[in-house]
Amino acid sequence: MAKITPVLMSGGAGARLWPLSRRAKPKQFHALVGARTLIQDTALRFTTEAFGPPMVICNLAHADLVREQLAAVGVTPRALILEPEGRNTGAAAVVSAAAAEEAGCDLVLLLSADARVHDPAALRAAIATGAPAAEAGALVIFGITPTAPETGYGYIRAEAGEQAVRKVAAFVEKPDLATARRYVADPAYSWNAGIFLFRADAFLREATRVAPDLTVAARAALAQAARAGDTIALGEAFRATPAVPVDVAVFEKTDKAVVVAAAIGWSDVGTYDALWSEAEKTASGDVLQGSVIAADTANCLAVSDGPTVVLSGVEGLAVIVENGVVLVTRRDAPSAVRAAVEAVRQAGREDLL
């Protein structure tokens, strides 16, 4: 079997983790849990013989961060594809597949650079299971075995059967709690974590068929790209690509999508509640990072990059001190963080974002 080329999509802003995650340094470049950053952990999952060097697609402003962080863990990317602005994962997928085909790569593993996987070996085993289907022209998506009735994730419903690789019956948007509980109890459903495996030519053929406007614009951006060594700086046509997720643009419209179940301990670490869940806790359930002192507290998350934070007599808070900004909110309220970001924007303080 040909080596698989991982494509790490590093374009997300991680706004639900503001002010830890900001435009200048989104969450994938932070060591949120453990000693390594999320992009470093993601790259290191694919350093076995089955995989070739990764491609990374990221914002132009993050090129140096990507190089520095990957070099620190001994990973040299095959190519660094630079976006002039973020246009969601659909455009990133088409550009990456076209660049991979151009480079003579066969199988492409497309995934975000900012998620956590507790069992990388299980992920690699799932990829090996899906590889023959991908080689035969299927577009493979890995469905994460649900561990809780999450309402913040999209779901995949597989067709009935006991096979390891099954046709996708439907993609389901983020459900309400009662529906999510039903999904968790039904083995046909899995979380959509946005991890895909396909032959570059097969994906591009389907993308051209079901999303022609996206494909034409993305290919034009690659054709216009300025190239220097392993760097591909996409052309201005990229700004005109539809800003749509690859799931919506291609996978929900193709009849070639199949799903492979993957019980890998996956988390997008996309909210302060998720970060608290993933991190090591004190006896009272607190997560304390940096210069933090706590007394009579429970289930709080406190992170400081410098000034000492003292918590007393509180429960369930997230207190974040990062680069001159202090956020105090409920730990389990991602909508409150979104509201805080909007308030900062309305106050004319885009510099803080």
Q: What is the pLDDT of residues 186-204, one digit of tens each?
A: 999 999 999 999 999 999 9
C-alpha span between 226 and 160 (Å, rounded):
47
Instruction: Give the pLDDT confidence of 265-300 residue by residue, as tens digits.
Output: 999 999 999 999 999 999 999 999 999 999 999 999
Is pTM, for the whole model, over 0.85? yes
CATH fold of 4-267 reads: Spore Coat Polysaccharide Biosynthesis Protein SpsA; Chain A (3.90.550)
Q: What is the pLDDT of residue 1?
A: 62
Cβ pair 8, 39 in contact under 8 A: yes
Three-state DSSP class for 293? strand
Cβ pair 13, 25 in contact under 8 A: no
Instruction: Give the pLDDT confidence of 211-242 residue by residue, as tens digits.
Output: 999 999 999 999 999 999 999 999 999 999 99
In 3D space, the residue among 20, 6, 11 whose CA is nearest the CA of residue 269 turns out to be 20
Q: Show me where the domains of the chain are located.
A: 4-267, 272-352
The answer to which of 6-15, 115-124, 225-234 has the lowest mean pLDDT is 6-15
Contacts of 325 (CB under 8 A, 6+ apart): 19, 352
Q: Which two tokens stand for residue 246?
A: 């690859």
- Where are the alpha helices (H) located in 84-230, listed in sequence order? 88-102, 120-135, 177-184, 200-210, 212-223
Query: Phi/psi of residue 255, each to 5°?
Result: -100, 10
Strand bridging mode 287-289 / 301-304: parallel
C-alpha span between 8 and 55 (Å, rounded):
6
C-alpha span between 131 and 107 (Å, rounded):
8
